[in-house]
Structure 1
Amino acid sequence: MAAPNPLKNPQFEFKSLLLLVLAASLLFALILWPFFGAICWAVFIAIVFWPMHQRFLEGSHGRKNMAALASLTVILLIVILPMAMVIASITSEASVLVEKMRSGQIQLGTYFERAIAVLPEWARSMLERFGMTDLGLLQRKLLAALSSSGQVLTSRVVGIGQVTLDFIVAFFVMLYMLFFLFRDGEQLSQSIARAIPLHPQHTRRLLTQFATVVRATVKGNIVVALVQGTLGGVAFWVLGLTGAMLWGAVMALLSLLPAVGAAMVWGPVALYFFFTGALVKGIGLTLWGALAIGLVDNVLRPILVGKDTRMPDYLVLVATLGGIVVFGLNGFVIGPVIAAIFLVSWEMLASARQQAHIPPT
C-alpha cells in the first residue's frame, strides 16, 4: 500500500493557503499605505453619507453610477468646497496676524509685561525661578531654537512642492475611491462579511458597530467642533481681538479632544482680561465659554452620537490622543473606532465563553 502524500494533507493545504493569504494581505497593505489617509476618509465619508446615497439610488431607479455621481457632487458642494474656502480664509488671516506682529502693530511684549505685573507675588517668584519673566531672555531662547533648527526648516522647504503634489494625488484618490464605494459599497460589505472568519452573528455585530462608531464620531465630533469654533470666533470678534477666525479654527481643532477642548483657548484669554482689569470682558467671555461653548458638547453630542455608542469620556480622550499621535489628524476618528472594536471584540469573547460553559437543557 502506497504511503500517503504529505503534500495532499488537507491541514497542510489549509495552512499553506492561510500563509499565502497573510503574505498577500501584508504586501497589499504595504502598497496601500501611502494612501492610507485618503482611503480611510473615503470610507468614513461613504459611511456618513450612505443614507443620502440610498435616497439618490431610489430616486434614480437603481442606476448606481448616476446615484454615486450625484452623492459625490453633493459632498463636493456642501463639504469639501466650503471647507477649502474656510481654510483659505484662515491662512490669509494668519498671514495678516504674523505681518502685524512683525510691523509692531501687535506688541507681544506689552501684553506679556501686563500679564506678569498683575500676577500674585508667589506666581511671579515661581516664574522668576524658571527665568520666565524676562521677555528678552525668552526672545533670545526662541531665536536660538529657531537658528538651531534653521537647517532643518531649510531642508524641508525644498519638499513643500512634493508635499503639495502628494496632497493633490491623495485628494483625487479619495474622490475616486468614494465614487466606487458609493457604487459598489453594498457588494463590498457583503464580500468582507463573507471573508471574515467569524460567526455570522459576530460578523454582523462587528461591522455594524464599526459603521455606527464611524458615523457617530465623524458626524458628532466634526459638527460639535464646528459649532464650538464658530461660537468662539464670534466671541473673539465681538471683543475686538485680532485673528478671530484663526482662533476660532484653533478652538474647533481643539474641540476634537473631549474634556479639554476649546477652553484651552478662551480660558487663558478670559484670565488675561481678569488680570488686566477688563472685568466686563472677562466675565462675558467666561459666561459665553461656559454656557454657550461648553454646553454645546453636552447638548449636541448626545443627539448626534446617541447613547448606544457613547463610550466613557476617559476612554474617548485616551483613544483620541493616542490615535492622533499614531495616525496624525486621521486618528481622531481611527482612535475611537479602534477602542470601540476593542470593547466589542472582548465583549463577544466573554459572551462566547459564557455560552460555552452553560450546560445544555
Structure 2
Amino acid sequence: MLPTQTSDMALSRGLLDVLIRAGLIAVLAISCFRIFYPFLNLIVWSMILAITLYPLLVKLRGGVLKKDGHAATLIVLVAFAIILVPTWLMGNAIADSLERTMDIAKSGTFQIPPPAESVAAWPLVGQRLYDFWLQAATDLTGLVLKYAPQLKEVGVALLGTVTSLGAGLLVFFVALIVAGIFMAYGEEGSRSAVQIASRLSGPENGPKIAELCTATIRAVAQGVVGIAFIQMLLVGVAFVVIGVPAAGLLSLAVLLLGIMQLPATLITIPVIAFVIATKGVGVATIIFSVYVFVAGLADNVLKPLLLGRGVDVPMPVVLIGALGGMVTGGVIGLFVGPVVLAVGYQLFWRWVEDGPKAEAPGEQKKP
C-alpha cells in the first residue's frame, strides 16, 4: 500500500471519528435541552431575582446575620409577606365587590344616572356616548341583551387573563424559593459565571461581561420597580382625592400591574368610567379623568429616563433591548433583551477597537 493511500485512509478515519463525536455531542446537547426546557422560564426568573436581591443579602450578612443561607431565607420570607398580604386583601375586596354587585343586580335596585345634555355636545363621540349612556340609564336590560355576545367574549378574555395571572404568580413564588437557594450560594455562582464567560469570550473579556450582565439585570429590575412605584403614587393620590372606594387596593393593583409590565389603564379606565357614572360630568371629574389617564401612561415617559442607569452602555441600548425583549419574549424578555443587546454592543465595539488603527490625518510612516 502506498504511503499516500495510507495517509488518506488515516485522514478519513480521523474525519469519521470527529463527525461521530460531534454527532454524539449534538444528540447529548439536544437531549439535555429538551429535558431542561420545561424549567427554563423558572430558572431564568430565579436567576433574575437572585441577581437583583443579592446586594440586599450582602448588607444583611454584614449585620446581624452571618450566613448567606439565613439571610436568603429571611429575604424570601419577607418577599412572600410583601406579595401575599396585598394580594389576599385585593382578592377579598374584589370578591366582596362582586358579591355586592350580584345582590344589587338580583334586587333590581341598580340604576345608572342619566347623562347630562352637555355630553351630546362633545366632539366626535358626544352623540354616540349620549345615546349609549341614555339607553343604559333607561333600559339596562335591553342594552345587556343587545351586547350579550360581546360581553361574553370580554368575560372569557377576562377569565383567561385572571387564570394566566394566577399561574404566573405561582411560578413567581416557586422562582423566589429557587432564587433564595441561588443567593445562598451566591459567591460560588459568581465565580462560575465568570469562568463560563471567560471560557466563551476569553480571560480578558469574561469578568467584564459577567459584571455587565449583572449590572444590566439590576438596572432594569430597579427601573421597573421604581417606575411602577412612581406610577402608583401618581394614580393613588388622585384616587384618594376624588374619593374612589378602595383607593388603596386599587393603587396597589397599579403597582402590581407595573411590576408585571401590564398597562395601568386596566385599572385607570374602569375607575374613570365609574367616577363619571357616579359623580356625573363636571370640571372636577374631567380634570380627574384626564390626569388619571395621563398618569396611567406615565411609564412610557419614565422608562427612557430611569432604565439603564449604572450600566456601562448607552441608555438607548438598554431601552431598545427592554422594549424589544418585552415584545418578543414577554416579561422575561424585558430582562433578557437588554442583557443580550448590551453584551453584543460591548463585544462589537471591542472587536472594532482591536482592529488596525487608522493613521491620523497628516501622519506618515517612517521609512
TM-score between the two structures when normalised by the length of structure 2: 0.68
Partner residue in 1 for 2:50: 46
Single out whichever of 91-100 and 340-349 deviates more from structure 2. 340-349
Q: Determine if contact 1:254/1:261 at 8 Å carries over to the other structure.
A: yes
Q: Determine if contact 1:232/1:248 at 8 Å carries over to the other structure.
A: yes
Partner residue in 2 for 1:103: 103
**C-alpha deviations, 1:131-151, integer Å up to 9, x for none?**
898545662365335667999
Counterpart of 1:236, as a letter, is: F
**C-alpha deviations, 1:285-334, integer Å up to 9, x for none?**
756887999599759964994475633697367326415xx44xxx1x53
Q: Determine if contact 1:236/1:244 at 8 Å carries over to the other structure.
A: yes
Single out whichever of 19-28 and 307-316 deviates more from structure 2. 307-316
How far did 1:85 drift? 0.6
**C-alpha deviations, 1:228-272, integer Å up to 9, x for none?**
2255235324422234244324422454599x9546754785686
Partner residue in 2 for 1:247: 250
Query: Which of 13, 30, 36 is the aligned partner of 2:34?
Result: 30
Q: Determine if contact 2:76/2:176 at 8 Å carries over to the other structure.
A: no
Query: Which of 174, 177, 190 is the aligned partner of 1:175?
Result: 177
Aligned-pair Cα RMSD in Å:
5.0
Q: Determine if contact 2:265/2:293 at 8 Å carries over to the other structure.
A: yes
Counterpart of 2:320, as a letter, is: L
Single out whichever of 22-31 and 285-294 deviates more from structure 2. 285-294
Q: Determine if contact 2:216/2:308 at 8 Å carries over to the other structure.
A: no
CA distance in 2 between partners of 1:22 and 1:128 (Å): 66
How far did 1:356 drift? 2.8
CA separation of 1:73/1:298 partners in 2, compared to 1, >3 Å: closer, same or farther? same
Secondary structure of the equivalent of 2:243?
coil
Counterpart of 1:341, as a letter, is: V
How far did 1:215 drift? 0.6
Secondary structure of the equivalent of 1:110?
coil
Q: Determine if contact 1:68/1:180 at 8 Å carries over to the other structure.
A: no
Q: Determine if contact 1:229/1:248 at 8 Å carries over to the other structure.
A: yes
CA separation of 1:238/1:219 partners in 2, compared to 1, >3 Å: closer, same or farther? same
Partner residue in 2 for 1:67: 67
Query: What are the equivalent positions in structure 2 for 1:52-91 lying under 5 Å apart?
Result: 52-55=56-59, 67-91=67-91
1:236 aligns with 2:253: no
CA distance in 2 between partners of 1:28 and 1:334 (Å): 23
CA distance in 1 between partners of 2:54 and 2:347 (Å): 27
**C-alpha deviations, 1:102-136, integer Å up to 9, x for none?**
2338998726x53897252631456699x898545
1:213 aligns with 2:216: yes
CA separation of 1:285/1:57 partners in 2, compared to 1, >3 Å: closer, same or farther? same
How far did 1:43 drift? 0.6
How far did 1:83 drift? 0.8
Q: Taking every aligned residue pair, what percent have the same amino acid on both sides?
A: 16
Single out whichever of 139-148 and 34-43 deviates more from structure 2. 139-148
How far did 1:346 drift? 4.5
**Unpaired segments ≥5 residues, structure 2:** 360-364
Counterpart of 2:145, as a letter, is: R
CA distance in 2 between partners of 1:91 and 1:116 (Å): 38
Secondary structure of the equivalent of 2:316?
coil
How far did 1:6 drift? 3.8
CA distance in 1 between partners of 2:128 and 2:325 (Å): 33
TM-score between the two structures when normalised by the length of structure 1: 0.69
Partner residue in 2 for 1:143: 148
Partner residue in 1 for 2:362: none
CA distance in 2 between partners of 1:114 and 1:17 (Å): 77
Partner residue in 1 for 2:226: 223
Q: Kindly tell me the number of residue pairs found equivalent between the two proteins.
A: 339
CA separation of 1:175/1:257 partners in 2, compared to 1, >3 Å: closer, same or farther? closer
How far did 1:82 drift? 1.4
CA separation of 1:253/1:210 partners in 2, compared to 1, >3 Å: closer, same or farther? same
CA distance in 1 between partners of 2:18 and 2:117 (Å): 72
Secondary structure of the equivalent of 1:358?
coil
Counterpart of 1:67, as a letter, is: K
CA distance in 2 between partners of 1:221 and 1:73 (Å): 24
Q: Determine if contact 2:233/2:251 at 8 Å carries over to the other structure.
A: yes
Counterpart of 2:211, as a letter, is: T
CA distance in 2 between partners of 1:285 and 1:167 (Å): 31
Q: Determine if contact 1:228/1:296 at 8 Å carries over to the other structure.
A: no
Counterpart of 2:235, as a letter, is: G
Query: Which of 312, 316, 332 is the aligned partner of 1:311?
Result: 316
**Unpaired segments ≥5 residues, structure 1:** none
